[in-house]
Amino acid sequence: MRAIVSCMQAHVGPKSATKVLFALCLAEDNRRVAVEAGAAAAVVESLMELEVTAAERALAALELMCTVAEGAAEVRAHALAVPVMVEMMGRMEGRGREHAIGVLAVIFCGAGVGEGGEAAGVAPPEEVARAVMLALQGDCSARGKRKGAQLLKALQEAVGYDSGGRMDGCDLSAVGV
């Protein structure tokens, strides 16, 4: 596992590394091992430089790693996680977008939003909500739309909304929240 993480960090064979990482993360027992080896941070830090198919696999592996408590905690604590996921959500289509939304849902739904309306000290929920709404207007799977609606609802509950069902200027009723 450490060799896979090293390949991702050094950008050596990222296509193969993401294939192997995703395949290993399909088995629940390997997810914790991957997180302990630093795979979650390596994925977040290398995502922007990956080609589309490798990025999609890396996002899928990251979302799987977030199903273990240690993985979710590591992603929440990573300073680049939210900006990178928002960027990937805008760049990707279909499943890649769905996985980026899923990781954002782990960040904002699982830990709760802290004082000041921010999760892990990063982007305000209003900005994330706008990005999710834009992503949901594009090519997104039904599962991605459900994850997005769940994320928007959590953001809405954390920040609050006005009497018109708007969260700081975002009309969430357009996506069924």
- The pLDDT assigned to 118 comes to 44
Binned at pLDDT 50, 70 and 90, residue 164 comes out as very low
Per-residue pLDDT tens over the stretch 95-152? 898 999 999 988 888 654 443 334 444 556 777 888 888 888 877 778 888 888 888 8
Per-residue pLDDT tens over the stretch 35-67? 999 999 999 999 999 999 999 999 999 999 999
Contact 170, 126 (CB under 8 A): yes
Q: 102: part of which helix (H) or strand (E)?
A: helix 94-105
pTM: 0.81
